[in-house]
């Protein structure tokens, strides 16, 4: 049964150019030395600490700034990020609201029984009994990751949990959903 290591909570797409995955959002400066407090958008926030290169963007379609030689640490449910050259609170204030991105190519390979949620984007979705649902268009966060599946005017919100994902292929995801879920979340 598939699992996942990292989830992409961005509501719009898997990155500014499609080759990135959202790691988190800068929520405020941390202290007076220019550190940034990051609200992680991953299932395993401490995974951010292993990366030494990330990209920052003011908005989904905005220009990205490459940040190399970063340092990160976990602080409760947040990540504290140090960027070279960002050494005071005033500089850190400029990044509030910016998003933290990682190139998909920098992600560790998923194990045979795992899948990254962002990899479900743009796949056709159907149920185990053959019902065609549409295409996975978005991932919504907010505590429980949800797949947004659209087909024309129809839209379904499906919790992105292991128990509901029967299989993932190159172009398709097969869902094993409890009775009534689609009607309740359409």
**What confidence score (pLDDT) does residue 6 get?**
31
Answer whether CATH 2.30.30.240 is correct for domain 122-184: yes
Domain ranges of the chain: 20-106, 122-184
Domain 20-106 shares a fold with domain 122-184? no
**What confidence score (pLDDT) does residue 186 get?**
66
Q: pLDDT-based confidence at 16, cuts 50/70/90? A: very low
> With contact defined as beta carbons under 8 Å apart, do 65 and 101 qualify?
no
Q: pLDDT-based confidence at 152, cuts 50/70/90? A: very high
The pair of structure tokens assigned to 87 is 């050494």
**Of the candidate ranges 60-74, 86-100, 106-120, 147-161, the one whose mean pLDDT is the lowest:** 106-120
Rounded CA gap, 53 and 20, in Å?
12
Above 70 in pLDDT, residue 15?
no
Above 80 in pLDDT, residue 60?
no
pLDDT by residue (tens digit) across 30-50? Answer: 999 999 999 998 777 888 999
Task: Assign a CATH topology to domain 20-106.
Answer: Elongation Factor Tu (Ef-tu); domain 3 (2.40.30)
Above 50 in pLDDT, residue 148?
yes
pLDDT by residue (tens digit) across 93-102? Answer: 999 999 999 9
Please give the model's pTM, rounded to 2 decimal places.
0.68
**What confidence score (pLDDT) does residue 141 get?**
67
pLDDT by residue (tens digit) across 64-86? Answer: 899 999 999 999 999 999 999 99
Return the DSSP state at 111.
P
């Amino acid at each position: 049964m598939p699992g996942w290591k990292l989830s992409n909570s961005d509501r719009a797409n898997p990155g500014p150019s499609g080759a990135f995955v959202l790691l988190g959002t800068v929520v405020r400066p941390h202290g007076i030395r220019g550190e940034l407090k990051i609200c992680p958008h991953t299932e395993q926030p401490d995974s951010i600490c292993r990366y030494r290169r990330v990209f920052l963007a003011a908005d989904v379609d905005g220009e990205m700034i490459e940040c190399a030689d970063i340092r990160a640490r976990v602080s409760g449910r947040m990540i504290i990020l140090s960027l070279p050259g960002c050494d005071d609170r005033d500089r850190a204030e400029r990044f509030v609201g910016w998003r933290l991105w990682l190139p998909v190519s920098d992600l560790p390979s998923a194990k045979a029984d795992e899948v990254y949620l962002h990899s479900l984007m743009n796949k056709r979705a159907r149920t185990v009994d053959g019902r065609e649902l549409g295409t996975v268009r978005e991932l919504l966060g907010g505590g429980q990751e949800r797949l947004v599946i659209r087909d024309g005017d129809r839209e379904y919100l499906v919790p992105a949990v292991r128990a509901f994902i029967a299989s993932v292929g190159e172009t398709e995801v097969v869902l094993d959903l409890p009775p009534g879920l689609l009607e309740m979340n359409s």
